[in-house]
């Protein structure tokens, strides 16, 4: 990954309390896993931003290096990598995700 791409990802992660790197966007997810994440965040009623990796090859490849995680979507809360669809579902079902987003939005 180029230093420019790393800087762009850094800025996106730091400037947004909750950000999802996904296929498509929150209004039109382009895969089932991305849709799962959007549905969970919508169910929590929290504000979040999305980055469509299909529109930017550098970000699509770079985010995998950035997190050392091979799949998309990728969710960051308060600058911290949380995981993908499966982890988000698990955290949501356990009630832990609600706490994480509340802390992030309060900070």
Domains, the chain, in order of start with CATH, read 3-101 (3.40.30.10)
Q: How confident is the model at residue 107 (pLDDT cuts 50, 70, 90)?
A: confident
Q: What is the C-alpha to C-alpha distance for residues 93 and 27, in angstroms, rounded to an integer?
A: 23
Please give the pLDDT value at position 59. Answer: 96
The proportion of the chain whose per-residue pLDDT surpasses 70, expressed as a percent, equals 100
Residue 2 has which token pair? 């180029």
CA distances from 39 to 2, 29, 59, 88 (A): 32, 10, 23, 11
pLDDT in tens, 33-70: 999 999 999 999 999 999 999 999 999 999 999 999 99
């Amino acid at each position: 990954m180029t230093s420019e791409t790393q800087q762009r990802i850094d800025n996106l992660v730091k400037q947004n309390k909750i950000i999802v790197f996904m296929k498509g966007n929150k209004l039109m997810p382009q895969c089932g896993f991305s849709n799962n994440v959007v549905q969970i965040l919508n169910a929590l009623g929290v504000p979040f931003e999305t980055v469509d990796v299909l529109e930017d090859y550098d970000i699509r490849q770079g985010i995998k290096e950035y997190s050392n995680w091979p799949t998309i979507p990728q969710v960051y809360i308060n600058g911290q990598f949380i995981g993908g669809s499966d982890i988000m579902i698990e955290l949501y079902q356990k009630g832990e995700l609600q706490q994480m987003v509340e802390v992030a939005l309060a900070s």
